[in-house]
């Protein structure tokens, strides 16, 4: 599964933008790799998980809403901080990504999930939404999840 496909799958299952707290909790708990039983079995793949960290949400007048993934987290799952090369190897092998802005983070990931690093990548999810999105977001919103 490609990075874009994983992003689309994750967002198709996530609570909508009209539920910001539930959405944030979901995106901190569930990685792009999917549920643990669906993840690849290689040692490198099991050491790391990828999460959506920052998104931009836009809604057009036609009811189509677009979510752009702006920043992501790669978590050294339930383990201490490692070196940038380990994160980059995982991102290259798993997602075919080579971010040039990988940044190690000092705090542990959500609920002591492990050490992590952030990086930028582009992924887009589009969906026709109902009027409730338009009313609650006023036509567009940028959120820092």
**For the chain, where are the E strands, in sequence order?**
48-59, 64-77, 103-105, 114-128, 140-143
pLDDT higher than threshold 60 for residue 3: yes
Query: Do 127 and 64 meet the contact criterion of CB atoms below 8 Å apart?
Result: yes
pLDDT of residue 34: 87
Prediction pTM value: 0.82
- Over residues 112-121, the mean pLDDT reads 96
Q: What is the pLDDT of residues 78-107, one digit of tens each?
A: 999 999 999 999 999 999 999 999 999 999
When divided into structural domains, the chain yields a total of: 1
Sheet architecture: strand order including 140-143: 103-105, 114-128, 64-77, 48-59, 140-143
Closest CA to 123 of 85, 87, 100, 95: 95
Closest CA to 23 of 1, 49, 55: 55
Domain of 84, in residue numbers? 3-143
pLDDT of residue 42: 53
């Amino acid at each position: 599964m490609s990075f874009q496909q994983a992003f689309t799958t994750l967002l198709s299952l996530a609570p909508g933008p009209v539920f910001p707290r539930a959405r944030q909790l979901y995106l901190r708990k569930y990685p792009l790799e999917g549920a643990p039983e669906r993840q690849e079995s290689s040692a490198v793949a099991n050491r790391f998980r990828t999460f959506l960290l920052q998104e931009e949400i836009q809604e057009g007048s036609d009811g189509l809403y677009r979510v752009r993934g702006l920043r992501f987290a790669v978590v050294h799952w339930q383990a201490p901080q490692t070196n940038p090369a380990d994160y980059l190897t995982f991102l290259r092998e798993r997602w075919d990504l080579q971010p040039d802005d990988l940044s190690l983070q000092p705090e542990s990931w959500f609920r002591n999930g492990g050490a992590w690093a952030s990086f930028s990548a582009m992924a887009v999810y589009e969906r026709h939404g109902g009027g409730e999105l338009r009313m609650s977001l006023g036509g567009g919103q940028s959120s820092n999840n």
